[in-house]
Structure 1
Amino acid sequence: MEHITKLCADSLRAFCLNKFGIQLKSSHAHELVAAYFGYSSRAALLADTKCSIGNLRHAEFIVLTPTAPIRERRSKLNGLPQDLPEDLAEGVYLPLYDEKLILHTIWPTLEELGKALADQHLKSKPAYFSDQKIQKHGVKLEFENDLVAIVVFREYVSPYLTLASGKNVLRGVVDVYNIKRIAGYIGYVKTDHYSTEADTLEAAIVKMRDIHHQIITSPQAINAMKAHEEAEISFSAWLAKQKNRDTPLGDLAIKRGFADKSEGWPIYSSLKEYQAFLTSNHPPRGSMATLERAWKSYQSYLRKKQSPSSNKQVKKSVPKKDDARTVVSVKKAIPLSYDKRSIEKFSPGDAAWISWDGKKAIPVSVLEVDESHYSVKVESPRKMAGNTHSLFLDEVRSSPELACENLVTR
């Protein structure tokens, strides 16, 4: 076990140095590795001989440690570099792949694992209705020593039969998956699975109570669990929500232009894994850059969701239509090469941005669109206002930052 933790600690130190230029102490690295494996300290990790992290190879499921306890452990480490990034999972887990200790998909949360298991179980059975839709959904976790019960609640509805009969035609399902911890607090095996069905979710819960006595029954609790799941949404689930966007992000979500569209996006824990997946699927030009931007947006989304103030309602000021946009200075923008650029779709009348030097973004409005160019009119500075230009499609962008990264090249 110490061999594995040392590999992970050394990997984390190299990751921090090479990617962020941060020197991480060996003691700090070992404590952070323990936190990512679910322990309160390195001492606790070494003392756990019953569920040694060395058993990972035998685990059926690998589940990431929630961010809250990792943050708490970080806050108690004296002398930890203040500029140390929050997401260090890639540096910790990389040796586990090299040592072939991780042989399966990594799940971001136990809730996501429960949803996937319920989906898999449903596929093994005939559909309840030809047009079934999920009307209610929730996941509850119950812990007892080294055992975890993942309880998945679902209520299906048939829109067609409901309209035809004038009353809700439902089917409630409750699945309980019992899993056992065998490797740290991230490696598990399944021990049991129980399932009940009834005409409503409430009735299915009542039937399950005879088998599994601690199941909750209040709709409020189910709604609360749904909100929790949304806060812990995986990248693949977040990406699926972008599929209706008429942008490169929307194209990425539906795998437009990919050689193989038969499978959706898998659930991974790091950008590096998604980059490898993307490469293996022969994506169209510009997809890698879009993926990297999407990952940054996803991480920003998670940070916002996890912020204590994320639930507060903020009254947004509505800009006046006659407010003039001005030139914006952008620091440290790194221009993209041609093969990494993508195209954003605009219509005549849309507001956009361009940049001539990669340092300042100029507000423009789109006048015309053809197969390869946008015609735009400059809004400011005043001495250039009204000037029109015909630019390549990848040179007109939706934000100052993107404009400076995709500066005009002629």
Structure 2
Amino acid sequence: MSIQKECADHLRQTYRHLTNEKLGSGHAHEIVAAFFGYGSAAALRTELHYQLDELNRADILIPNLALMDQRVQQLQGLPAKLPEVNDLASQLCDFLRAQGHFSGTVWHTHDVEDYINSDFIQNDPMMIEDDLSSEIATTNAYFDELYIDEVALDIGQDALVALISGSLNGDTDQDRAFHGDSIAFTTVMTFQRVAGRVAYEKPELETSGAVDMSKYYDDEEA
């Protein structure tokens, strides 16, 4: 049995258990397809390169909650007591874990850009700071604040790419000559696609940066 059908059957069984009513097979398959990032169940069934059987190789799963919302609005004849999309996605994630299809981290979010900043990077800022060690060494500052200005996503055929810009800020050591206390950086974070349109490997990061002295030059000119 395919993972697509397993998930659809699970949604139907869970709905019947909760409400003693029926969720149609077609509806369940469409909801599952949207969860995995496809506009229709047929599109998921015809996926050739990133089949769901490879889910166990993925490190990160990002259910497409926005597409699930859209499909639920489009589908005709859905039962009135159908759970909210967030609950449906949670049911599917729990099922995939329980069946051993996926053991990585779930990013349960409607805003991937914000999640990358607030939950992923800020929980482990050293993934960026380590790549700025040579720039840090040229300054007289102690750095402790990683600030993200922007996260821009590019969803490609084979990878999800996040282009991140921001600054690493610190406090100057007054006993040393001033050489800057802010480093402007850009990070390219690449998530290689593994299964479906929502399951990826751990990201690869490439960070470049330079000490930002522009505000001090501006002050001198003023």
Verify same fold: TM over 0.5: yes
TM class by shorter-chain length?
Answer: 0.7 to 0.9
Q: CA 1:165 to 1:124, structure 2 compared with 1: closer, same or farther past 3 Å?
A: closer
1:177 partnered with 2:189: yes
Instruction: Please name the residue that 1:116 is paired with.
Output: 120
Q: Structure 2 regions of 5+ residues with no counterpart?
A: 215-222
Answer yes or no: is the 8 Å Cα contact 1:154–1:201 preserved in 2.
no
Q: CA 1:52 to 1:149, structure 2 compared with 1: closer, same or farther past 3 Å?
A: same
1:35 partnered with 2:39: no
Query: TM-score w.r.t. structure 1 length?
Result: 0.43
Secondary structure at the counterpart of residue 209 of structure 2: strand
Answer yes or no: is the 8 Å Cα contact 1:132–1:158 preserved in 2.
yes
Number of equivalenced pairs: 199
CA displacement at 1:161 relative to structure 2? 5.6
CA displacement at 1:136 relative to structure 2? 4.2
Q: For residue 211 of structure 2, what is the amino acid of its counterpart?
A: D
CA displacement at 1:53 relative to structure 2? 1.1
Q: For residue 2 of structure 2, what is the amino acid of its counterpart?
A: H
1:186 partnered with 2:184: no
Give the whole-Å Cα distance in 1 for the aligned partners of 2:190 and 2:161: 4
Give the whole-Å Cα distance in 2 for the aligned partners of 1:63 and 1:45: 16
Q: For residue 98 of structure 1, what is the amino acid of its counterpart?
A: A
Aligned counterparts, 1:11-410, within 5 A = 11-65=10-64, 67-86=65-84, 87=86, 88-109=88-109, 110-111=112-113, 112-113=115-116, 116=120, 119-122=125-128, 124=130, 128=136, 129-160=141-172, 169-189=181-201, 192-200=204-212
More strand by share: 2
Instruction: Please name the residue that 1:399 is paired with.
Output: none
Give the whole-Å Cα distance in 2 for the aligned partners of 1:193 and 1:160: 28
Instruction: Please name the residue that 1:301 is paired with.
Output: none
CA displacement at 1:38 relative to structure 2? 0.7
Query: TM-score w.r.t. structure 2 length?
Result: 0.75
Answer yes or no: is the 8 Å Cα contact 2:125–2:146 preserved in 1.
no
Give the whole-Å Cα distance in 2 for the aligned partners of 1:181 and 1:136: 25
| Aligned-residue identity in percent | 26
* Alignment RMSD: 3.2
Give the whole-Å Cα distance in 1 for the aligned partners of 2:146 and 2:125: 11
Give the whole-Å Cα distance in 1 for the aligned partners of 2:207 and 2:173: 25
CA displacement at 1:30 relative to structure 2? 1.1
Question: Can you list the C-alpha shifts for 1:85-127, whole angstroms capped at 9, x where unaligned?
Answer: 2221122223311221212111235433476257251364659
Q: For residue 8 of structure 2, what is the amino acid of its counterpart?
A: A
Give the whole-Å Cα distance in 2 for the aligned partners of 1:149 and 1:5: 26
Give the whole-Å Cα distance in 2 for the aligned partners of 1:192 and 1:94: 27
Secondary structure at the counterpart of residue 138 of structure 1: strand
Secondary structure at the counterpart of residue 4 of structure 2: helix
Secondary structure at the counterpart of residue 27 of structure 2: helix
